[in-house]
Amino acid sequence: MDSTDSSNTSNGEVKNLPFAVTLVVSAAIAVVCGELFGFPWWLRLITVVVVVVALEGVNQAVGRARARRKSF
């Protein structure tokens, strides 16, 4: 198995968040912001991009921290 695979490990822990989940969460946040705050389509699109970038950044930071912990 590849060490960068996002499948479950032997103890059931997910290594990193799948991109599909990131995309669904960001789309849901954009819809909620659009309904609550009246965002136009272009602002919803910007919201999706910002949330995807933020979640991917957190995902990478957690992965690096986990890898650093395993190396010690």
Q: Is 47 contained in some domain? A: yes
Task: Evaluate whether residue 1 is within a structural domain.
Answer: no
Give, in order, the Cα–Cα distances in Å from 41 to each of 1, 13, 38, 55, 60: 41, 37, 9, 21, 29
Q: Specify the number of domains making up the chain.
A: 1
Position 16 scores a pLDDT of 79
**3 falls within a domain:** no
- Per the structure, the complete domain to which residue 59 belongs is given by 19-71
Considering the entire predicted model, what is its pTM?
A: 0.73
pLDDT digits (tens, 9 = 90+) for 9-24: 555 566 778 889 999 9
Using DSSP's 3-state secondary structure scheme, residue 9 falls into coil
**65 has a pLDDT exceeding 60:** yes
Q: DSSP assignment of 35-58, as one string?
A: HHH---HHHHHHHHHHHHHHHHHH
Domain presence at residue 5? no
Model confidence at 2, in pLDDT bands (50, 70, 90)? very low
Residue 13 belongs to a domain: no
Question: Distance (Å, rounded) from C-alpha 26 to C-alpha 18?
Answer: 13
